[in-house]
Amino acid sequence: MAEKKISPQSSALIGELEVPGDKSISHRAVIFGSLAKGQTKIDHFLDGEDCLRTVDAFRQMGVDIEQQGESIVINSGGAENLIEPKVPLYFGNSGTTARLMIGLLSGLPLFTTIYGDASLSERPMDRVVLPLSAMNAAISGRSDAKLLPLAINGKELQAIQYTLPVKSAQVKSALLFAGLFANGETVITEKAKTRNHTETMLEAFGAELAVQGNTIRMNGKQALKPVDIYVPGDISSAAFFLAAAAAKRDSSLVIKKVGLNPTRTGIIDVLTQMGAQIEISNKKRIGGELLGDVKISSSSLIGIEISGDIIPRLIDEIPIIALLATQAEGRTVIKDAAELRVKETDRIAAVVEVLTTLGASVTATEDGMIIEGNQELTGGNISAYHDHRMAMMGAIASFFTTEDIVIDDISSIAISYPSFFEDLKKITTN
Ligand code: S3P
């Protein structure tokens, strides 16, 4: 346990910063680079614990992956030359590794067993196991294969047409990876658009797919060609500093080269609606992904309602949005976000518990929360619930508290943002 005491931060957030690479894109780059025959180079890779679990998995399957911090070089014999791992694959805390790999492993001629840490072992896997079973996948495991550990006996899969009951990019991606090795055309329909990095990267690696509205069609048995990838900065990591700068008086901050894929920019829309001053410049597209520089200056903020189709576009940002809402004028209501209950922890319960301990007035609802604005935060002992985004939200709260905050364990921050505190120092004066 790495406890951390943080004193109230009087400093504004000033300057420029590049945040580490996007977690979702880093995972996918390693997967595609390992499936494509030949050499793939990845730049600005997220050297965080979750993405390293994906790297480890492919090393166990015989792929040569050289990593030096943010640079990765993959030399692979292609999907057909992956070897059966002799030991169970450990996915740690990484839901993305688990869901995406279950999809992929279902369609490869290998037997694998997979497991994770205590948190991942409680997270629902039936959302991928059920549609994969309809494709002829052979997956068994704990609680009728709803929970890790699971055993996957790779099979010849048949493509399906499927409407996703949950708004989840992980489920969509699992089915696309399975579909890539299946016979026939996979057709996936989403009720709301979720992050589309898998689709973008499939195209970058030379696969053909058709996206029309919320429906994706892709033929199976397509070969992938290696391509070099640059991973934009993670907007979900940038969100912590953007939110702090929006509310902390006299702040002016630029986050450079951050990912601006529209399926991820719900946080920019929310900050703008709350009254933050945001300018975006130097927009460009690399490998199909949009990135640019985001400048934010502090201003007075107002509470808003956040619900409906925007939720998947900001699902990981809700803890920091909730903190920000305590500093806005008026009430903020978050709805349609029941998915938060099955993240690294129950993020509705955790956010309400942490913000209440810090002196805010927040009420949990079944699918979200109601946050009163204009709250003076005091301080206190809070738990990070072994959840990286809860730990970083707790640290940012120190910009708005009058007393010390003690976070029980900040080690989870290494999952998505190992240099979080160093970067925070670069843009503050105390
Ligand atoms: C992710 C999708 C989201 C998100 C997670 C990363 C991905 O999860 O919360 O941090 O990389 O596809 P869901 O698909 O479960 O919503």
Query: HEC states along 302-336?
Result: ECCEECHHHHHHCHHHHHHHHHHHCCCECCEEECC
Check pLDDT > 90 for residue 430: no
pLDDT at 1: 85
Q: Is the CB of 315 under 6 A from ligand 1?
A: yes
pLDDT at 318: 99
Report how far Cα 222 is from the mean position of its chain's Cα atoms. 27
**CB burial of residue 70 (10 Å; 0-12, 13-18, 19+):** middle
Query: For the segment 57-102, what is each residue's pLDDT rounded down to a tens digit?
Result: 999 999 999 999 999 999 999 999 999 999 999 999 999 999 999 9
| Mean pLDDT calculated for residue range 146-158 | 98
Query: For the segment 244-274, what is each residue's pLDDT rounded down to a tens digit?
Result: 999 999 999 999 999 999 999 999 999 999 9
Check pLDDT > 90 for residue 34: yes
Q: Report the separation in Å between the CA atom of 323 and the middle of ligand 1, taken as the mean of its atom positions.
A: 21
Give the model's confidence band at 417: pLDDT under 50 very low, under 70 low, under 90 confident, else very high: very high
Q: Is the CB of 170 under 6 A from ligand 1?
A: yes
Residue of minimum CA distance from atom 4 in ligand 1: 316
Query: For the segment 165-181, what is each residue's pLDDT rounded down to a tens digit?
Result: 999 999 999 999 999 99
Tell me 63's DSSP state: -
| Mean pLDDT calculated for residue range 17-41 | 98
Give the model's confidence band at 330: pLDDT under 50 very low, under 70 low, under 90 confident, else very high: very high
| Mean pLDDT calculated for residue range 143-172 | 98
Q: Report the separation in Å between the CA atom of 344 and the middle of ligand 1, taken as the mean of its atom positions.
A: 11
Return the structure tokens found at 13.
């957030």
Report how far Cα 17 is from the mean position of its chain's Cα atoms. 20
Q: Report the separation in Å between the CA atom of 333 and the middle of ligand 1, taken as the mean of its atom positions.
A: 22
CA distances, 75 to each of 30, 36, 40, 71, 283 (Å): 11, 9, 7, 13, 31
Report how far Cα 16 is from the mean position of its chain's Cα atoms. 23
Q: Report the separation in Å between the CA atom of 195 and the middle of ligand 1, taken as the mean of its atom positions.
A: 8
Q: Report the separation in Å between the CA atom of 377 and the middle of ligand 1, taken as the mean of its atom positions.
A: 30
Q: Is the CB of 234 under 6 A from ligand 1?
A: no
pLDDT at 89: 98
Check pLDDT > 80 for residue 337: yes
**Sign of the dihedral defined by the CA atoms of residues 312, 317, 323, 326, in that order:** negative
Q: Is the CB of 173 under 6 A from ligand 1?
A: yes
Which atom from ligand 1 is nearest to the alpha carbon of 236? 10
Cα 108 to Cα 83: distance, rounded to the nearest angstrom:
10
Give the 3-state secondary structure of residue 179: helix
From 226, 171, 175, select the one nearest 32 (Cα to Cα).
226
**Sign of the dihedral defined by the CA atoms of residues 321, 355, 168, 201, in that order:** positive
| Mean pLDDT calculated for residue range 219-223 | 97
Cα 216 to Cα 130: distance, rounded to the nearest angstrom:
19
Return the structure tokens found at 172.
């969509």
| Mean pLDDT calculated for residue range 381-395 | 98
Q: Report the separation in Å between the CA atom of 329 and the middle of ligand 1, taken as the mean of its atom positions.
A: 31
Residue of 104, 195, 234, 264 best suited for mutating to test ligand 1, as the one with most atoms within 8 Å of CB: 195
Query: For the segment 198-211, what is each residue's pLDDT rounded down to a tens digit?
Result: 999 999 999 999 99
Give the model's confidence band at 363: pLDDT under 50 very low, under 70 low, under 90 confident, else very high: very high
pLDDT at 345: 98
Strand 252-259: give its sheet, edge to edge: 14-18, 252-259, 289-297, 277-286
Residue of 313, 315, 320 best suited for mutating to test ligand 1, as the one with most atoms within 8 Å of CB: 315
Q: Is the CB of 339 under 6 A from ligand 1?
A: yes
> What's the CA dihedral at 138, 139, 144, 150 to 10 degrees?
160
Supply the mean pLDDT for the chain.
98
Residue of 22, 23, 24 best suited for mutating to test ligand 1, as the one with most atoms within 8 Å of CB: 24
Place of tokens 């590794």: 97
Could you give all domains of the chain from N- to C-terminal order, each with its CATH number?
Answer: 4-21+232-426 (3.65.10.10), 23-230 (3.65.10.10)
Residue of 168, 172, 190, 289 best suited for mutating to test ligand 1, as the one with most atoms within 8 Å of CB: 168
Q: Is the CB of 168 under 6 A from ligand 1?
A: yes
Q: Are 82 and 62 in contact (CB under 8 A)?
A: yes
Q: Report the separation in Å between the CA atom of 10 and the middle of ligand 1, taken as the mean of its atom positions.
A: 34
pLDDT at 269: 98
Residue 238: which H helix or E strand, with range?
Answer: helix 235-247
Cα 64 to Cα 76: distance, rounded to the nearest angstrom:
6
Cα 217 to Cα 15: distance, rounded to the nearest angstrom:
44
50, 56, 316, 387: the active-site residue? 316
Residue 316 designated active-site: yes
Tell me 224's DSSP state: -
| Mean pLDDT calculated for residue range 414-421 | 98
